[in-house]
A and B are shown apart, each in its own frame.
Chain A
Protein backbone atom coordinates (compact mmCIF):
# COMPACT_ATOMS: atom_id res chain seq x y z
CA UNK A 1 0.00 0.00 0.00
CA UNK A 2 1.22 3.50 -0.75
CA UNK A 3 1.33 6.37 1.68
CA UNK A 4 -0.29 9.77 1.40
CA UNK A 5 1.25 12.30 3.75
CA UNK A 6 -1.01 15.24 4.59
CA UNK A 7 0.36 18.43 6.13
CA UNK A 8 -2.22 19.62 8.66
CA UNK A 9 -2.58 23.17 9.93
CA UNK A 10 -4.39 24.04 13.12
CA UNK A 11 -5.67 27.21 14.69
CA UNK A 12 -6.42 27.31 18.40
CA UNK A 13 -8.15 24.04 19.18
CA UNK A 14 -9.34 23.43 15.64
CA UNK A 15 -8.14 21.88 12.42
CA UNK A 16 -8.04 24.61 9.77
CA UNK A 17 -10.75 24.29 7.18
CA UNK A 18 -8.26 23.98 4.33
CA UNK A 19 -6.73 21.00 6.15
CA UNK A 20 -10.12 19.42 6.95
CA UNK A 21 -10.79 19.42 3.22
CA UNK A 22 -7.57 17.66 2.34
CA UNK A 23 -8.04 15.22 5.24
CA UNK A 24 -11.53 14.45 3.93
CA UNK A 25 -10.06 13.81 0.51
CA UNK A 26 -7.46 11.60 2.21
CA UNK A 27 -10.25 9.57 3.79
CA UNK A 28 -11.75 9.03 0.35
CA UNK A 29 -8.35 7.91 -0.94
CA UNK A 30 -8.01 5.47 1.96
CA UNK A 31 -11.40 3.99 1.06
CA UNK A 32 -10.01 2.88 -2.31
CA UNK A 33 -7.83 0.49 -0.35
CA UNK A 34 -4.76 1.68 -2.21
CA UNK A 35 -3.47 4.27 0.21
CA UNK A 36 -2.61 4.61 3.88
CA UNK A 37 -3.05 8.15 5.19
CA UNK A 38 -0.55 9.81 7.49
CA UNK A 39 -1.17 13.29 8.85
CA UNK A 40 1.77 15.44 9.88
CA UNK A 41 1.21 18.28 12.32
CA UNK A 42 4.07 20.53 13.41
CA UNK A 43 4.71 22.58 16.54
CA UNK A 44 2.64 22.87 19.72
CA UNK A 45 -0.64 20.95 19.37
CA UNK A 46 -2.82 19.65 22.20
CA UNK A 47 -3.59 15.92 22.70
CA UNK A 48 -7.28 16.66 21.99
CA UNK A 49 -6.38 18.10 18.65
CA UNK A 50 -4.07 15.18 17.86
CA UNK A 51 -7.03 12.88 18.49
CA UNK A 52 -9.32 14.97 16.31
CA UNK A 53 -6.84 14.66 13.43
CA UNK A 54 -6.48 10.92 14.09
CA UNK A 55 -10.14 10.47 13.11
CA UNK A 56 -9.07 11.19 9.54
CA UNK A 57 -5.81 9.27 9.36
CA UNK A 58 -4.20 5.91 9.94
CA UNK A 59 -1.44 7.71 11.74
CA UNK A 60 -0.87 11.19 13.11
CA UNK A 61 2.75 12.21 13.30
CA UNK A 62 3.16 15.12 15.64
CA UNK A 63 6.58 16.62 14.93
CA UNK A 64 7.91 18.58 17.87
CA UNK A 65 10.94 20.79 18.38
CA UNK A 66 11.59 24.05 20.21
CA UNK A 67 12.40 25.53 16.79
CA UNK A 68 8.87 24.73 15.60
CA UNK A 69 7.12 26.76 18.31
CA UNK A 70 6.34 29.44 15.78
CA UNK A 71 6.14 29.02 12.02
CA UNK A 72 9.29 29.59 9.98
CA UNK A 73 9.67 28.40 6.39
CA UNK A 74 13.13 26.95 7.10
CA UNK A 75 12.13 25.04 10.23
CA UNK A 76 8.90 23.66 8.80
CA UNK A 77 10.60 22.66 5.55
CA UNK A 78 13.41 20.76 7.27
CA UNK A 79 11.10 19.03 9.73
CA UNK A 80 8.58 17.91 7.11
CA UNK A 81 11.24 16.87 4.59
CA UNK A 82 13.04 14.82 7.25
CA UNK A 83 9.86 12.93 8.07
CA UNK A 84 8.96 12.48 4.39
CA UNK A 85 12.32 10.76 3.85
CA UNK A 86 11.26 8.15 6.41
CA UNK A 87 7.63 7.80 5.35
CA UNK A 88 8.49 7.89 1.61
CA UNK A 89 4.97 8.87 0.56
CA UNK A 90 3.69 8.76 -3.00
CA UNK A 91 2.29 12.21 -2.48
CA UNK A 92 2.36 15.02 0.06
CA UNK A 93 -0.90 16.95 0.19
CA UNK A 94 -1.85 20.24 1.80
CA UNK A 95 -4.35 23.03 1.38
CA UNK A 96 -2.83 25.86 -0.67
CA UNK A 97 -2.77 28.30 2.24
CA UNK A 98 -0.17 31.06 2.33
CA UNK A 99 1.80 29.00 4.85
CA UNK A 100 1.81 25.87 2.70
CA UNK A 101 2.69 27.82 -0.43
CA UNK A 102 5.47 29.53 1.51
CA UNK A 103 7.41 26.53 2.81
CA UNK A 104 6.50 23.50 0.67
CA UNK A 105 8.55 24.76 -2.32
CA UNK A 106 11.54 24.47 0.04
CA UNK A 107 10.49 20.90 0.86
CA UNK A 108 10.41 20.15 -2.88
CA UNK A 109 14.03 21.31 -3.12
CA UNK A 110 15.09 19.28 -0.08
CA UNK A 111 13.44 16.15 -1.48
CA UNK A 112 14.32 17.01 -5.09
CA UNK A 113 10.74 16.26 -6.03
CA UNK A 114 7.91 17.86 -7.99
CA UNK A 115 5.37 20.31 -6.64
CA UNK A 116 2.11 21.70 -8.00
CA UNK A 117 0.86 24.79 -6.17
CA UNK A 118 -2.75 25.96 -6.17
CA UNK A 119 -4.41 22.94 -7.73
CA UNK A 120 -8.17 22.98 -8.41
CA UNK A 121 -8.81 19.34 -9.36
CA UNK A 122 -6.96 16.04 -9.13
CA UNK A 123 -7.07 12.54 -10.59
CA UNK A 124 -5.19 10.67 -7.88
CA UNK A 125 -5.68 7.24 -9.40
CA UNK A 126 -4.22 8.13 -12.79
CA UNK A 127 -0.73 6.87 -13.45
CA UNK A 128 1.06 9.22 -13.27
CA UNK A 129 -1.14 11.32 -10.97
CA UNK A 130 -2.61 14.22 -12.91
CA UNK A 131 -3.72 17.50 -11.38
CA UNK A 132 -5.27 20.66 -12.78
CA UNK A 133 -3.66 24.07 -12.23
CA UNK A 134 -5.03 27.39 -13.44
CA UNK A 135 -2.43 29.66 -15.08
CA UNK A 136 -2.58 33.22 -16.46
CA UNK A 137 -4.98 34.13 -13.67
CA UNK A 138 -7.35 31.32 -14.61
CA UNK A 139 -7.66 32.15 -18.32
CA UNK A 140 -6.26 28.71 -19.08
CA UNK A 141 -6.05 25.46 -17.13
CA UNK A 142 -3.09 23.11 -17.32
CA UNK A 143 -3.13 19.39 -16.67
CA UNK A 144 0.17 18.55 -15.06
CA UNK A 145 1.81 15.36 -13.91
CA UNK A 146 4.97 14.53 -12.09
CA UNK A 147 7.85 12.15 -12.69
CA UNK A 148 8.81 10.28 -9.55
CA UNK A 149 7.62 10.61 -6.00
CA UNK A 150 6.67 12.19 -3.77
CA UNK A 151 4.49 14.61 -5.70
CA UNK A 152 3.66 17.62 -3.53
CA UNK A 153 0.18 18.88 -4.32
CA UNK A 154 -1.32 22.01 -2.76
CA UNK A 155 -5.02 22.35 -3.41
CA UNK A 156 -6.86 25.66 -3.47
CA UNK A 157 -9.20 26.00 -0.46
CA UNK A 158 -12.80 25.02 -1.27
CA UNK A 159 -11.74 22.43 -3.86
CA UNK A 160 -12.89 19.35 -1.92
CA UNK A 161 -15.98 18.66 0.19
CA UNK A 162 -15.48 18.36 3.91
CA UNK A 163 -17.00 15.15 5.22
CA UNK A 164 -17.15 14.19 8.89
CA UNK A 165 -14.71 11.38 9.62
CA UNK A 166 -16.29 7.95 10.04
CA UNK A 167 -13.22 5.78 10.39
CA UNK A 168 -11.61 4.28 13.39
CA UNK A 169 -9.12 6.71 14.88
CA UNK A 170 -5.54 6.12 13.82
CA UNK A 171 -2.52 6.02 16.08
CA UNK A 172 -0.83 9.16 17.32
CA UNK A 173 2.92 9.34 17.57
CA UNK A 174 5.16 12.14 18.63
CA UNK A 175 8.43 12.58 16.87
CA UNK A 176 11.22 15.02 17.70
CA UNK A 177 12.41 16.94 14.66
CA UNK A 178 15.95 17.21 16.05
CA UNK A 179 16.63 20.43 14.19
CA UNK A 180 20.18 21.67 14.61
CA UNK A 181 20.32 24.82 16.75
CA UNK A 182 21.16 27.72 14.47
CA UNK A 183 19.61 26.03 11.43
CA UNK A 184 16.56 28.29 11.67
CA UNK A 185 17.64 31.88 11.15
CA UNK A 186 14.18 33.43 10.91
CA UNK A 187 12.87 35.16 14.01
CA UNK A 188 9.23 36.10 14.50
CA UNK A 189 9.09 39.56 16.09
CA UNK A 190 5.38 40.29 16.02
CA UNK A 191 2.13 38.74 14.96
CA UNK A 192 -0.97 40.78 14.25
CA UNK A 193 -3.90 38.44 14.03
CA UNK A 194 -7.21 39.30 12.53
CA UNK A 195 -9.80 40.20 15.17
CA UNK A 196 -11.49 37.12 16.61
CA UNK A 197 -14.48 35.88 14.73
CA UNK A 198 -13.27 37.33 11.43
CA UNK A 199 -13.36 34.75 8.70
CA UNK A 200 -10.22 34.36 6.60
CA UNK A 201 -10.85 35.38 3.01
CA UNK A 202 -9.29 32.38 1.26
CA UNK A 203 -11.07 29.87 3.49
CA UNK A 204 -14.45 31.59 3.61
CA UNK A 205 -17.54 29.76 2.29
CA UNK A 206 -19.13 33.08 1.46
CA UNK A 207 -17.57 36.39 0.45
CA UNK A 208 -19.28 39.74 0.04
CA UNK A 209 -17.02 42.03 -2.00
CA UNK A 210 -17.38 45.70 -2.72
CA UNK A 211 -16.04 47.90 -5.46
CA UNK A 212 -16.06 51.59 -6.22
CA UNK A 213 -19.83 51.49 -6.27
CA UNK A 214 -19.67 51.53 -2.47
CA UNK A 215 -18.64 55.21 -2.79
CA UNK A 216 -16.89 55.52 0.60
CA UNK A 217 -14.98 53.46 3.15
CA UNK A 218 -17.72 53.72 5.80
CA UNK A 219 -20.31 52.26 3.43
CA UNK A 220 -18.59 48.87 3.68
CA UNK A 221 -20.51 48.56 6.97
CA UNK A 222 -23.51 47.25 5.02
CA UNK A 223 -21.33 44.53 3.46
CA UNK A 224 -19.86 43.71 6.89
CA UNK A 225 -23.37 43.26 8.22
CA UNK A 226 -24.46 40.99 5.38
CA UNK A 227 -21.25 38.96 5.69
CA UNK A 228 -21.78 38.70 9.44
CA UNK A 229 -25.25 37.22 9.00
CA UNK A 230 -24.06 34.50 6.60
CA UNK A 231 -20.76 33.83 8.37
CA UNK A 232 -18.74 35.15 5.46
CA UNK A 233 -15.83 37.49 4.85
CA UNK A 234 -15.67 40.89 3.19
CA UNK A 235 -13.52 41.36 0.09
CA UNK A 236 -12.62 44.36 -2.01
CA UNK A 237 -11.41 45.35 -5.47
CA UNK A 238 -8.03 46.83 -6.27
CA UNK A 239 -9.32 50.38 -6.71
CA UNK A 240 -10.97 50.25 -3.31
CA UNK A 241 -7.74 49.05 -1.69
CA UNK A 242 -5.68 51.65 -3.58
CA UNK A 243 -8.10 54.32 -2.29
CA UNK A 244 -7.33 52.99 1.21
CA UNK A 245 -10.98 52.19 1.94
CA UNK A 246 -9.94 48.63 2.77
CA UNK A 247 -6.65 46.97 3.74
CA UNK A 248 -4.46 45.04 1.27
CA UNK A 249 -5.44 41.69 2.87
CA UNK A 250 -9.02 42.19 1.71
CA UNK A 251 -8.14 42.54 -1.97
CA UNK A 252 -9.51 39.88 -4.29
CA UNK A 253 -7.87 39.65 -7.70
CA UNK A 254 -4.67 39.32 -9.60
CA UNK A 255 -2.63 41.46 -7.20
CA UNK A 256 -4.54 40.28 -4.16
CA UNK A 257 -5.99 36.96 -3.08
CA UNK A 258 -7.44 34.22 -5.22
CA UNK A 259 -10.65 32.94 -3.66
CA UNK A 260 -13.03 30.15 -4.47
CA UNK A 261 -16.00 30.34 -2.10
CA UNK A 262 -19.36 28.62 -2.47
CA UNK A 263 -21.00 32.04 -2.68
CA UNK A 264 -19.44 35.24 -4.00
CA UNK A 265 -21.51 38.41 -3.85
CA UNK A 266 -20.06 41.23 -5.96
CA UNK A 267 -21.56 44.59 -5.01
CA UNK A 268 -20.77 47.71 -7.00
CA UNK A 269 -17.98 45.91 -8.88
CA UNK A 270 -17.59 46.63 -12.59
CA UNK A 271 -15.71 43.40 -13.34
CA UNK A 272 -12.18 44.35 -14.43
CA UNK A 273 -10.21 41.33 -15.61
CA UNK A 274 -7.83 41.73 -12.64
CA UNK A 275 -10.72 41.17 -10.29
CA UNK A 276 -12.27 38.29 -12.25
CA UNK A 277 -8.95 36.42 -12.06
CA UNK A 278 -9.26 36.33 -8.29
CA UNK A 279 -12.80 34.97 -8.02
CA UNK A 280 -13.78 33.13 -11.19
CA UNK A 281 -13.68 29.66 -9.62
CA UNK A 282 -16.34 30.64 -7.05
CA UNK A 283 -19.31 28.28 -7.21
CA UNK A 284 -22.24 30.71 -7.24
CA UNK A 285 -21.74 34.37 -8.06
CA UNK A 286 -24.37 37.03 -7.40
CA UNK A 287 -23.58 40.42 -8.93
CA UNK A 288 -25.36 43.61 -7.96
CA UNK A 289 -24.71 46.66 -10.10
CA UNK A 290 -26.57 49.74 -11.27
CA UNK A 291 -25.21 49.36 -14.80
CA UNK A 292 -26.95 46.55 -16.70
CA UNK A 293 -23.93 46.41 -19.05
CA UNK A 294 -21.35 45.94 -16.27
CA UNK A 295 -18.82 43.26 -17.28
CA UNK A 296 -19.24 41.52 -13.93
CA UNK A 297 -22.58 40.15 -15.16
CA UNK A 298 -20.67 38.04 -17.75
CA UNK A 299 -19.06 36.20 -14.85
CA UNK A 300 -22.10 35.92 -12.58
CA UNK A 301 -24.61 33.14 -12.03
CA UNK A 302 -27.26 35.63 -10.91
CA UNK A 303 -27.52 39.35 -11.39
CA UNK A 304 -29.56 42.15 -9.91
CA UNK A 305 -29.57 45.49 -11.73
CA UNK A 306 -30.23 48.09 -9.08
CA UNK A 307 -29.00 50.18 -6.19
CA UNK A 308 -26.81 48.14 -3.86
CA UNK A 309 -27.59 50.58 -1.02
CA UNK A 310 -31.19 49.33 -1.15
CA UNK A 311 -30.61 45.71 -2.15
CA UNK A 312 -27.84 44.74 0.29
CA UNK A 313 -29.72 45.92 3.45
CA UNK A 314 -32.90 44.29 2.13
CA UNK A 315 -31.03 41.00 1.67
CA UNK A 316 -29.56 41.29 5.17
CA UNK A 317 -33.02 41.86 6.65
CA UNK A 318 -34.49 38.95 4.69
CA UNK A 319 -31.65 36.65 5.76
CA UNK A 320 -32.05 37.61 9.41
CA UNK A 321 -35.72 36.77 9.15
CA UNK A 322 -35.04 33.40 7.57
CA UNK A 323 -32.06 32.48 9.72
CA UNK A 324 -33.83 33.61 12.89
CA UNK A 325 -31.15 36.05 14.00
CA UNK A 326 -33.35 39.13 14.02
CA UNK A 327 -33.44 39.63 17.79
CA UNK A 328 -29.72 39.45 18.27
CA UNK A 329 -28.99 41.68 15.35
CA UNK A 330 -31.56 44.37 16.08
CA UNK A 331 -29.29 45.52 18.93
CA UNK A 332 -32.05 45.65 21.54
CA UNK A 333 -34.04 48.35 19.82
Chain B
Protein backbone atom coordinates (compact mmCIF):
# COMPACT_ATOMS: atom_id res chain seq x y z
CA UNK B 1 0.00 0.00 0.00
CA UNK B 2 1.51 3.33 -1.05
CA UNK B 3 0.20 6.15 1.07
CA UNK B 4 0.81 9.84 0.47
CA UNK B 5 0.19 12.32 3.28
CA UNK B 6 -0.27 16.01 2.55
CA UNK B 7 0.77 18.01 5.59
CA UNK B 8 1.47 21.60 6.49
CA UNK B 9 3.47 23.53 9.06
CA UNK B 10 1.29 26.34 10.44
CA UNK B 11 1.56 29.09 13.06
CA UNK B 12 0.84 27.75 16.52
CA UNK B 13 -2.76 28.55 17.51
CA UNK B 14 -1.34 30.51 20.46
CA UNK B 15 0.99 32.57 18.25
CA UNK B 16 0.41 36.30 18.15
CA UNK B 17 -0.60 37.56 14.74
CA UNK B 18 -0.70 41.24 13.89
CA UNK B 19 -1.82 42.99 10.78
CA UNK B 20 0.70 45.33 9.18
CA UNK B 21 -0.45 48.90 9.31
CA UNK B 22 -1.30 49.07 5.63
CA UNK B 23 -3.34 45.87 5.81
CA UNK B 24 -1.42 44.11 3.05
CA UNK B 25 0.38 41.59 5.22
CA UNK B 26 0.76 39.96 8.61
CA UNK B 27 3.41 40.01 11.32
CA UNK B 28 3.67 36.57 12.81
CA UNK B 29 5.16 35.42 16.09
CA UNK B 30 7.70 32.75 15.11
CA UNK B 31 5.97 29.77 16.74
CA UNK B 32 5.01 26.95 14.43
CA UNK B 33 3.51 23.49 14.63
CA UNK B 34 2.06 20.75 12.44
CA UNK B 35 -1.50 21.57 11.43
CA UNK B 36 -3.65 19.70 13.91
CA UNK B 37 -5.69 17.63 11.45
CA UNK B 38 -2.57 16.67 9.48
CA UNK B 39 -1.22 14.92 12.57
CA UNK B 40 -4.20 12.57 12.46
CA UNK B 41 -3.53 11.97 8.75
CA UNK B 42 0.15 11.16 9.44
CA UNK B 43 -0.71 8.80 12.26
CA UNK B 44 -3.38 6.99 10.24
CA UNK B 45 -0.99 6.51 7.31
CA UNK B 46 1.59 4.92 9.61
CA UNK B 47 -1.03 2.63 11.13
CA UNK B 48 -2.18 1.46 7.70
CA UNK B 49 1.43 0.73 6.75
CA UNK B 50 2.04 -1.16 10.00
CA UNK B 51 -1.03 -3.30 9.32
CA UNK B 52 -0.77 -3.85 5.59
CA UNK B 53 2.82 -3.02 4.66
CA UNK B 54 3.86 -0.49 2.05
CA UNK B 55 5.37 2.95 2.27
CA UNK B 56 4.34 6.38 3.52
CA UNK B 57 5.44 9.56 1.79
CA UNK B 58 4.78 13.06 3.10
CA UNK B 59 4.52 16.00 0.74
CA UNK B 60 4.41 19.64 1.72
CA UNK B 61 4.60 22.95 -0.09
CA UNK B 62 6.41 26.01 1.16
CA UNK B 63 9.71 27.64 2.01
CA UNK B 64 11.58 28.31 5.26
CA UNK B 65 9.89 26.60 8.21
CA UNK B 66 7.64 24.50 5.95
CA UNK B 67 10.25 21.72 5.94
CA UNK B 68 9.72 21.09 9.65
CA UNK B 69 6.52 19.14 9.04
CA UNK B 70 8.56 16.73 6.91
CA UNK B 71 11.07 16.26 9.72
CA UNK B 72 8.14 15.57 12.07
CA UNK B 73 6.96 12.94 9.59
CA UNK B 74 10.40 11.32 9.45
CA UNK B 75 10.60 11.32 13.23
CA UNK B 76 7.21 9.60 13.41
CA UNK B 77 8.39 6.93 10.98
CA UNK B 78 7.49 7.81 7.38
CA UNK B 79 9.65 6.42 4.58
CA UNK B 80 9.91 9.29 2.18
CA UNK B 81 9.32 13.05 2.02
CA UNK B 82 9.09 15.70 -0.68
CA UNK B 83 9.30 19.46 -0.36
CA UNK B 84 7.75 21.64 -3.06
CA UNK B 85 10.06 24.55 -2.49
CA UNK B 86 10.00 27.55 -4.77
CA UNK B 87 8.92 31.15 -4.51
CA UNK B 88 6.43 30.54 -7.33
CA UNK B 89 4.52 27.96 -5.24
CA UNK B 90 3.71 30.46 -2.49
CA UNK B 91 0.53 32.32 -1.55
CA UNK B 92 -1.72 30.24 -3.75
CA UNK B 93 -5.45 29.78 -3.29
CA UNK B 94 -6.89 26.30 -2.72
CA UNK B 95 -6.88 25.56 -6.43
CA UNK B 96 -3.28 26.56 -7.19
CA UNK B 97 -2.07 24.66 -4.12
CA UNK B 98 -4.09 21.55 -4.97
CA UNK B 99 -2.79 21.62 -8.54
CA UNK B 100 0.85 21.57 -7.44
CA UNK B 101 0.21 18.88 -4.81
CA UNK B 102 -1.74 16.65 -7.18
CA UNK B 103 1.10 16.79 -9.73
CA UNK B 104 3.57 15.88 -7.02
CA UNK B 105 1.41 12.92 -5.91
CA UNK B 106 1.05 11.67 -9.47
CA UNK B 107 4.83 11.44 -9.86
CA UNK B 108 5.02 8.30 -7.73
CA UNK B 109 2.88 5.25 -7.05
CA UNK B 110 -0.02 5.88 -4.68
CA UNK B 111 -3.15 4.11 -3.46
CA UNK B 112 -4.28 6.42 -0.69
CA UNK B 113 -3.89 10.15 -0.09
CA UNK B 114 -4.49 11.26 3.48
CA UNK B 115 -4.61 14.89 4.60
CA UNK B 116 -6.22 16.95 7.35
CA UNK B 117 -9.79 18.10 6.74
CA UNK B 118 -8.43 21.64 6.69
CA UNK B 119 -5.21 23.46 7.47
CA UNK B 120 -5.70 25.47 10.62
CA UNK B 121 -4.14 28.65 9.20
CA UNK B 122 -6.09 29.34 6.00
CA UNK B 123 -9.06 27.30 7.29
CA UNK B 124 -10.21 26.64 3.72
CA UNK B 125 -10.71 22.88 3.74
CA UNK B 126 -10.56 22.89 -0.05
CA UNK B 127 -7.32 21.14 -0.93
CA UNK B 128 -8.38 17.54 -0.08
CA UNK B 129 -11.51 17.47 -2.27
CA UNK B 130 -9.73 19.46 -5.01
CA UNK B 131 -6.77 17.06 -5.12
CA UNK B 132 -9.28 14.19 -5.44
CA UNK B 133 -11.02 15.89 -8.34
CA UNK B 134 -7.73 16.75 -10.05
CA UNK B 135 -6.61 13.12 -9.71
CA UNK B 136 -10.02 11.87 -10.82
CA UNK B 137 -10.71 9.79 -7.72
CA UNK B 138 -13.36 9.77 -4.98
CA UNK B 139 -12.78 11.31 -1.58
CA UNK B 140 -14.31 10.95 1.86
CA UNK B 141 -14.16 14.05 4.04
CA UNK B 142 -13.84 14.49 7.82
CA UNK B 143 -13.28 10.84 8.65
CA UNK B 144 -13.20 9.52 12.22
CA UNK B 145 -12.73 5.81 11.42
CA UNK B 146 -11.03 3.99 8.57
CA UNK B 147 -10.72 0.40 7.42
CA UNK B 148 -8.68 -0.58 4.38
CA UNK B 149 -9.28 -4.02 2.89
CA UNK B 150 -9.65 -5.66 -0.53
CA UNK B 151 -8.72 -2.54 -2.46
CA UNK B 152 -11.41 -0.53 -0.73
CA UNK B 153 -11.66 2.05 2.00
CA UNK B 154 -14.60 2.00 4.39
CA UNK B 155 -14.69 5.26 6.30
CA UNK B 156 -16.92 6.79 8.92
CA UNK B 157 -17.37 10.47 8.28
CA UNK B 158 -18.93 13.34 10.23
CA UNK B 159 -21.69 15.04 8.24
CA UNK B 160 -24.15 17.82 9.00
CA UNK B 161 -26.80 15.82 10.77
CA UNK B 162 -24.94 12.79 12.02
CA UNK B 163 -22.44 10.24 10.74
CA UNK B 164 -22.22 8.19 7.58
CA UNK B 165 -20.28 5.09 6.68
CA UNK B 166 -19.04 5.26 3.11
CA UNK B 167 -17.17 2.85 0.88
CA UNK B 168 -14.84 3.97 -1.90
CA UNK B 169 -12.55 1.90 -4.12
CA UNK B 170 -8.85 2.76 -4.02
CA UNK B 171 -7.17 4.93 -5.10
CA UNK B 172 -8.93 7.57 -3.03
CA UNK B 173 -8.38 10.72 -0.98
CA UNK B 174 -9.37 10.75 2.70
CA UNK B 175 -9.44 13.82 4.92
CA UNK B 176 -8.86 13.31 8.63
CA UNK B 177 -10.93 14.72 11.49
CA UNK B 178 -10.17 14.73 15.18
CA UNK B 179 -11.29 11.42 16.65
CA UNK B 180 -9.61 9.30 13.96
CA UNK B 181 -6.70 8.30 16.23
CA UNK B 182 -4.23 9.49 18.86
CA UNK B 183 -1.08 10.64 17.08
CA UNK B 184 2.13 9.05 18.41
CA UNK B 185 4.93 11.02 19.99
CA UNK B 186 8.15 10.48 17.99
CA UNK B 187 10.95 8.54 19.69
CA UNK B 188 14.26 10.29 20.32
CA UNK B 189 15.95 8.04 17.75
CA UNK B 190 13.36 9.17 15.21
CA UNK B 191 14.00 12.82 16.00
CA UNK B 192 17.76 12.28 15.59
CA UNK B 193 17.20 10.62 12.24
CA UNK B 194 14.93 13.45 11.14
CA UNK B 195 17.52 16.09 12.00
CA UNK B 196 20.11 14.42 9.79
CA UNK B 197 17.79 13.56 6.91
CA UNK B 198 18.38 15.00 3.46
CA UNK B 199 15.15 16.54 2.18
CA UNK B 200 14.33 15.91 -1.50
CA UNK B 201 12.91 18.94 -3.25
CA UNK B 202 10.86 19.57 -6.35
CA UNK B 203 10.48 22.76 -8.37
CA UNK B 204 7.54 23.80 -10.56
CA UNK B 205 9.61 22.72 -13.55
CA UNK B 206 10.05 19.23 -12.07
CA UNK B 207 6.25 18.97 -11.88
CA UNK B 208 5.73 20.28 -15.41
CA UNK B 209 4.06 23.42 -14.14
CA UNK B 210 4.51 26.95 -15.42
CA UNK B 211 4.89 29.81 -12.95
CA UNK B 212 1.49 31.24 -13.95
CA UNK B 213 -0.33 28.02 -12.99
CA UNK B 214 0.71 27.99 -9.35
CA UNK B 215 1.03 30.15 -6.26
CA UNK B 216 -0.32 33.66 -6.29
CA UNK B 217 -0.04 33.95 -10.09
CA UNK B 218 -2.11 30.79 -10.61
CA UNK B 219 -4.79 31.78 -8.10
CA UNK B 220 -8.35 32.68 -8.95
CA UNK B 221 -9.07 33.96 -5.47
CA UNK B 222 -6.80 36.59 -3.98
CA UNK B 223 -6.50 38.30 -0.64
CA UNK B 224 -6.94 42.05 -1.11
CA UNK B 225 -6.29 43.00 2.46
CA UNK B 226 -6.29 41.85 6.05
CA UNK B 227 -8.61 43.40 8.61
CA UNK B 228 -8.96 42.95 12.33
CA UNK B 229 -12.10 41.24 13.59
CA UNK B 230 -14.54 43.47 15.43
CA UNK B 231 -13.77 43.42 19.12
CA UNK B 232 -16.62 42.71 21.48
CA UNK B 233 -17.19 45.58 23.90
CA UNK B 234 -16.29 45.07 27.56
CA UNK B 235 -18.31 42.30 29.23
CA UNK B 236 -21.28 43.44 31.27
CA UNK B 237 -21.53 41.50 34.50
CA UNK B 238 -24.96 40.58 35.86
CA UNK B 239 -24.93 40.73 39.65
CA UNK B 240 -27.11 39.33 42.38
CA UNK B 241 -27.68 35.84 43.79
CA UNK B 242 -28.25 32.90 41.43
CA UNK B 243 -32.02 33.44 41.22
CA UNK B 244 -31.81 37.17 40.62
CA UNK B 245 -28.94 36.90 38.12
CA UNK B 246 -30.73 34.14 36.20
CA UNK B 247 -33.95 36.17 35.98
CA UNK B 248 -32.05 39.27 34.88
CA UNK B 249 -30.11 37.29 32.27
CA UNK B 250 -33.35 35.91 30.83
CA UNK B 251 -34.84 39.42 30.76
CA UNK B 252 -31.83 40.81 28.90
CA UNK B 253 -31.68 37.96 26.39
CA UNK B 254 -35.42 38.14 25.65
CA UNK B 255 -36.22 41.84 25.91
CA UNK B 256 -32.96 43.66 25.17
CA UNK B 257 -30.97 41.38 22.85
CA UNK B 258 -34.08 39.57 21.57
CA UNK B 259 -32.12 36.41 20.90
CA UNK B 260 -34.66 34.06 22.49
Contacts and interface: CB of A to CB of B under 8 A. Distances in A.
B159 A189 contact: no
A148 interface: yes
B124 A140 contact: no
Given A115-B126, A254-B13, A263-B257, A109 B221 contact: no
B166 A189 contact: yes
A303 B161 contact: no
A136 B17 contact: yes
A109 B95 contact: yes
B167 interface: yes
B254 to A, nearest CB: 7
B177 to A, nearest CB: 7
B243 interface: yes
A145 interface: yes
Given A109-B134, A137-B120, A251 B178 contact: yes
A120 to B, nearest CB: 9
B252 A98 contact: no
B249 A302 contact: yes
Interface stretch (A20-28, A37-45, A315-323): A315-323
A105 interface: yes
Contacts of B222: 144-147
A69 interface: no
Contacts of B259: 205-206, 262-263, 283-284
Nearest to A110: B133
A297 interface: yes
A192 B246 contact: no
Given A108-B94, A200-B161, A318-B246, A263 B130 contact: no
A139 B17 contact: yes
B14 interface: yes
A304 B249 contact: yes
Question: Which of A274, A280, A319 neighbours the largest number of chain B CB atoms within 10 Å of its CB?
Answer: A319
B140 to A, nearest CB: 7
Interface string B16-31: 0101000000100000
Contact of B228 (A140, A187, A274): A140
Chain A contact surface mostly? mixed
A118 B119 CA distance: 13
A303 B229 CA distance: 21
Contacts of A190: 164-165
Interface in A290-314: 297-307, 310-312, 314
A326 interface: no
Contacts of B125: 101, 105, 117-118
Contacts of A281: 229
Contacts of A114: 93, 95, 219-221
B142 interface: yes
Interface string B147-187: 00000001000111111111111000000011100000000
B73 interface: no
Contacts of A148: 220
Contacts of B144: 248
A248 B249 CA distance: 29
B134 A314 contact: no
Given A101-B125, A115-B95, A248-B144, A141 B228 contact: yes
Nearest to B168: A186
B37 interface: yes
Contacts of A11: 161
Contact of B229 (A112, A138, A189, A310): A138
A91 interface: no
A106 B242 CA distance: 52
B253 interface: yes
Nearest to A16: B160
A255 interface: yes
B260 A185 contact: no
Contacts of B142: 98, 102
A191 B164 contact: yes
A303 B237 contact: yes
Nearest to A238: B178
A144 B130 contact: no
Nearest to B225: A143
25 contacts: A73-B138, A73-B141, A74-B138, A98-B159, A105-B98, A108-B126, A113-B220, A115-B93, A117-B124, A140-B26, A187-B167, A191-B164, A200-B161, A248-B144, A248-B177, A263-B259, A263-B260, A286-B253, A300-B232, A304-B238, A304-B245, A307-B242, A314-B246, A318-B250, A319-B250
Interface of A: 11, 72-74, 77, 97-99, 101-103, 105-106, 108-110, 112-118, 130, 132-148, 151, 184-194, 200, 202-203, 205-206, 230, 248-249, 251, 254-256, 262-263, 273-274, 277, 280-281, 283-287, 297-307, 310-312, 314-315, 317-319, 322-323
